[in-house]
A and B are shown apart, each in its own frame.
Chain A
Amino acid sequence: MQAVAAEPAFPPLAAFRIDGDAIHAPLAAIAADVQRGRDIVASRDGNCLLCHAIPETGARFMGDIALPLSGVGARLSAAQLRLRVVDQARLNPDTVMPSYYKVDGLHRVAPAFRGRPILSAAQIEDVVAFLQTLK
Chain B
Amino acid sequence: MRALCMLLLWPLLLAAQTPAPRSGLEFASADVRALQADDFANPGMLWVARGEKLWNTPAGRSATSCAGCHREAPVSMKGVAARYPRFDREAGAVLNLEARIKRCRESRQQAEALPHESEDLLALTAYVAHQSRGQSLVPAKDVASVAARERGREQYFRRQGQMNLACMHCHDRLAGRKLLSDTISEGHGNGYPAYRLEWQALGSLQRRLRACFTGVRAEAPAFGAPELIELELYLVQRAGPLRVETPAVRR
Residues of A participating in the B interface, judged by any CB pair closer than 8 Å: 49-51, 61-65, 89, 96, 98-99, 106-113, 116, 118
B214 interface hit (Cβ, 8 Å): yes
CB distance from B7 to the nearest CB of A (A): 26
Inside 8 A of B173's CB, which chain A residues have their CB?
A: 96
Q: Are B164 and A98 in contact (CB under 8 A)?
A: yes
Residues of B participating in the A interface, judged by any CB pair closer than 8 Å: 158-165, 169-170, 173-174, 177-181, 213-214, 217-220
Q: Are B169 and A96 in contact (CB under 8 A)?
A: yes
Q: Are A109 and B161 in contact (CB under 8 A)?
A: yes
A interface: dominant SS: loop
| Residue in B160, B164, B179, B214 whose beta carbon sits within 8 Å of that of A63 in the complex | B179
Q: List 14 A-B contacts (CB under 8 A).
A: A63-B177, A65-B177, A89-B164, A98-B163, A99-B164, A106-B161, A108-B219, A109-B160, A109-B219, A110-B214, A111-B219, A113-B161, A113-B162, A116-B162
In the assembled complex, the Cα of A106 lies from the Cα of B159 at a distance in Å of: 8
| Residue in B162, B177, B178, B213 whose beta carbon sits within 8 Å of that of A98 in the complex | B162
Q: Are A64 and B178 in contact (CB under 8 A)?
A: yes
Inside 8 A of A118's CB, which chain B residues have their CB?
A: 162-163
Q: Are A96 and B161 in contact (CB under 8 A)?
A: no
Q: Are A50 and B160 in contact (CB under 8 A)?
A: no
Q: Are B179 and A96 in contact (CB under 8 A)?
A: no
Inside 8 A of A109's CB, which chain B residues have their CB?
A: 160-162, 217-219
Q: Are B180 and A50 in contact (CB under 8 A)?
A: yes
Inside 8 A of A107's CB, which chain B residues have their CB?
A: 158-161, 164, 218
Task: Determine the residue in chain A with the shortest Cβ distance to B220.
Answer: A110
Q: Are A63 and B219 in contact (CB under 8 A)?
A: no
Q: Are A63 and B178 in contact (CB under 8 A)?
A: yes
In the assembled complex, the Cα of A110 lies from the Cα of B160 at a distance in Å of: 10
- Given A108-B218, A109-B219: A65 touches B174 (CB 8 Å cut-off): yes
Q: Are B180 and A96 in contact (CB under 8 A)?
A: no
